[in-house]
């Protein structure tokens, strides 16, 4: 199971031993308040009543403010809310048993790539789309290095929300670390987080539901999808975004950090354009898979000219949002980033995807397709997309999905 060491939280070996003992004790007796609040079936409906549905402001006013993340236009009141915050980049799982997910429809940008065994996972960026309402996101899952590299492109110290991650910490191994054959150094999330300077204690931008945040920021609710049947333990972590932003403020991570540096420092905005539906769409049914052996994660995007958007299907079924009256997930832009795939790279069967550098890309928007390339110079640089003439591609205002597909895979449309 992926989780970070208490050693990063406490300073000495003695403290680590004490903390480890306490942690094992808490797990053994089923106490979860230290890490998260456990929701019983009797309490689930009461606790979650209205969550994900309550509108905090009037969103029917003129939409005059551009979201810096995806270009969508919002009201002044919404911009005043996000203008006090910084983006939250959240790890959300996509196991077939965890669908429908909560909160994806309110993300500004969503990245999808395999986490393990052909099962995809999402790194979802929340900022503008989550300003007007109370939004819960679920299920929160563990991090991978390539997701962290994508998250790092969202300005100075975005909030990184996850539940553990691939690491080499091992209390029963010589020296307290796993051998490189068990976990390859290239996939060690702890090393990358430390390199980025993303603090993992109680005062950093690294929000780990496994050890440094708890109730009411995250809860474990096995009855999120069905009040009568519990989901698997690993599919149950739910985060409240308003509580995430409150905690971020306490840690000095509002729009500006405690040193007065805005999160937008170093952030690369995409170019945006208003959408224009194609009268005769040429790319209206996009299909691809990640792993041929895992059809439950095959993706299809169908163009809807009435809304000038693409409707998402996953594993042959319409992919729905669990909150907000359960709409089908959709996007204004669907971007295919062809990336090099390597792995499994160790005995824990971790994968590695090369998301820094350059590669081929397909950009679907307005019922059309643009062939081009993607470029991401470093972890701290946001990826940018160019056409075959080297001109930056403008994104249609609205939610964008970036699909990180193995370079050898075919995409039909």
Whether residues 102 and 50 share a domain: the answer is yes
Whole-number pLDDT of residue 275: 98
Whole-number pLDDT of residue 34: 40
- B/e letters for 233-271, b = 16+ CB within 10 Å, e = fewer, are ebbbbbbbbbbbbebbeebebbebbeeeeebbeebeebe
C-alpha to C-alpha distance for 33 and 397, rounded to whole angstroms: 41
Q: Tell me, yes or no, whether 20 lies in a domain.
A: no
pLDDT band at 54 (very low <50, low <70, confident <90, very high): low
Q: What is the domain count for the chain? A: 2
Q: Tell me, yes or no, whether 7 lies in a domain.
A: no
Whole-number pLDDT of residue 39: 54
Whole-number pLDDT of residue 38: 55
Whole-number pLDDT of residue 40: 56
Peptide bond into 276 cis (omega under 30): no
Task: Count the neighbouring beta carbons within 10 Å of the beta carbon of residue 224.
Answer: 25
pLDDT tops 80 at residue 2: no
Whether residues 89 and 189 share a domain: the answer is yes
Between 177 and 44, the higher pLDDT residue: 177
Whether residues 290 and 336 share a domain: the answer is yes
Whole-number pLDDT of residue 32: 36
Residue span of the structural domain in which 93 resides = 32-250
pLDDT digits (tens, 9 = 90+) for 190-199: 999 999 999 7
Closest Cα partner for 285 from 395, 398, 399, 369?
A: 369
The C-alpha angle 107, 380, 404, rounded to 5 degrees, equals 55
C-alpha to C-alpha distance for 322 and 30, rounded to whole angstroms: 28
Q: What is the pTM of this model?
A: 0.89
Give the strand pairing for 218-221 and 37-39.
parallel
Question: Is residue 162 packed enough to be buried (19+ CB in 10 Å), middle (13-18) or exposed (0-12)?
Answer: buried
Poorest-confidence range of 30-44, 49-63, 283-297?
30-44
pLDDT digits (tens, 9 = 90+) for 354-392: 999 999 999 999 999 999 999 999 999 999 999 999 999
Which secondary structure element, helix H or strand E, spans residue 112, and what is its range? strand 109-116
End residue of a domain, out of 182, 216, 250: 250
Helix extents (H) in 307-395: none
Mean pLDDT in residue range 235-247: 98
Tokens of 270: 């995409």
Whether residues 181 and 307 share a domain: the answer is no
Whether residues 241 and 191 share a domain: the answer is yes
Whole-number pLDDT of residue 176: 84
End residue of a domain, out of 196, 219, 250: 250
Whether residues 98 and 190 share a domain: the answer is yes
Q: Tell me, yes or no, whether 256 lies in a domain.
A: no
C-alpha to C-alpha distance for 145 and 191, rounded to whole angstroms: 9
Q: Tell me, yes or no, whether 325 lies in a domain.
A: yes
Task: Count the neighbouring beta carbons within 10 Å of the beta carbon of residue 52.
Answer: 22
Mean pLDDT in residue range 341-354: 97
Q: What percent of the chain has pLDDT over 70?
A: 87
pLDDT digits (tens, 9 = 90+) for 260-271: 999 999 999 999
Whether residues 93 and 172 share a domain: the answer is yes
Question: Is residue 12 packed enough to be buried (19+ CB in 10 Å), middle (13-18) or exposed (0-12)?
Answer: exposed
Peptide bond into 124 cis (omega under 30): no
Poorest-confidence range of 4-8, 197-201, 328-332?
4-8
Whether residues 203 and 277 share a domain: the answer is no
At 121, phi and psi to the nearest 5? -145, 160
Q: Tell me, yes or no, whether 6 lies in a domain.
A: no
Whether residues 230 and 289 share a domain: the answer is no
Q: Tell me, yes or no, whether 332 lies in a domain.
A: yes
Whether residues 302 and 197 share a domain: the answer is no
CATH number at residue 394: 3.50.90.10
Q: Tell me, yes or no, whether 237 lies in a domain.
A: yes
Q: Tell me, yes or no, whether 309 lies in a domain.
A: yes
Whether residues 137 and 194 share a domain: the answer is yes
Contact indicator for 236, 221 with CB cutoff of 8 Å: yes
Task: Count the neighbouring beta carbons within 10 Å of the beta carbon of residue 27.
Answer: 12
Dihedral sign for Cα atoms in the order 97, 100, 101, 107: positive
pLDDT tops 90 at residue 51: no
pLDDT tops 70 at residue 272: yes
Whether residues 221 and 279 share a domain: the answer is no
CA dihedral 369, 390, 339, 196 (to 10 degrees): -130
End residue of a domain, out of 250, 284, 302: 250
């Amino acid at each position: 199971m992926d989780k970070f060491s208490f050693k990063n939280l406490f300073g000495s070996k003695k403290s680590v031993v004490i903390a480890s003992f306490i942690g094992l004790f808490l797990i053994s007796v089923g106490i979860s308040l230290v890490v998260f609040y456990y929701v019983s079936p009797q309490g689930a409906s009461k606790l979650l009543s209205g969550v994900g549905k309550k509108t905090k402001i009037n969103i029917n006013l003129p939409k005059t403010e551009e979201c810096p993340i995806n270009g969508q236009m919002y009201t002044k009141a919404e911009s005043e809310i996000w203008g006090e915050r910084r983006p939250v980049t959240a790890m959300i799982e996509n196991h077939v048993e965890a669908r429908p997910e909560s909160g994806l429809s309110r993300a500004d940008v969503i990245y999808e790539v395999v986490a393990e065994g052909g099962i995809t996972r999402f790194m979802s960026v929340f900022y503008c789309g989550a300003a007007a309402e109370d939004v819960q996101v679920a299920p929160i899952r563990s991090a991978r290095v390539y997701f962290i590299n994508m998250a790092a492109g969202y300005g100075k110290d975005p909030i990184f929300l996850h539940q553990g991650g691939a690491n080499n910490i091992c209390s029963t191994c010589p020296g307290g670390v796993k051998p490189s054959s068990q976990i390859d150094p290239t996939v060690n999330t702890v090393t990358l987080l430390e390199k980025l300077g993303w603090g993992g204690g109680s005062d950093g931008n690294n929000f780990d539901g496994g050890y440094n945040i708890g109730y009411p920021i995250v809860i474990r609710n096995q009855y999120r999808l069905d009040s009568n049947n519990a989901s698997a333990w690993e599919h149950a972590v739910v985060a409240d975004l308003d509580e995430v932003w409150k905690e971020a403020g306490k840690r000095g991570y509002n729009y500006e950090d405690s040193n007065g540096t805005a999160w937008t420092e170093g952030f690369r905005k995409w170019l945006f354009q208003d959408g224009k539906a194609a009268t005769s769409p040429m790319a209206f049914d996009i299909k691809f898979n990640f792993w041929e052996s895992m059809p439950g994660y095959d993706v299809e995007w169908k163009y809807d000219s009435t809304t000038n958007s693409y409707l998402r299907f996953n594993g042959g079924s319409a992919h729905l949002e669990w909150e907000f009256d359960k709409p089908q997930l959709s996007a204004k832009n669907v971007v295919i980033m062809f990336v090099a795939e390597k792995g499994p790279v160790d005995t824990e069967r971790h994968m590695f995807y090369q998301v820094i550098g350059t590669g081929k890309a397909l950009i679907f928007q307005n019922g059309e397709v643009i062939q081009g390339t993607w470029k991401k110079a470093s972890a701290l640089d946001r990826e940018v997309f160019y056409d075959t003439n080297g001109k930056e591609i403008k994104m249609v205002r609205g939610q964008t999905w970036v699909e990180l597909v193995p370079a050898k895979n075919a995409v039909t449309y």
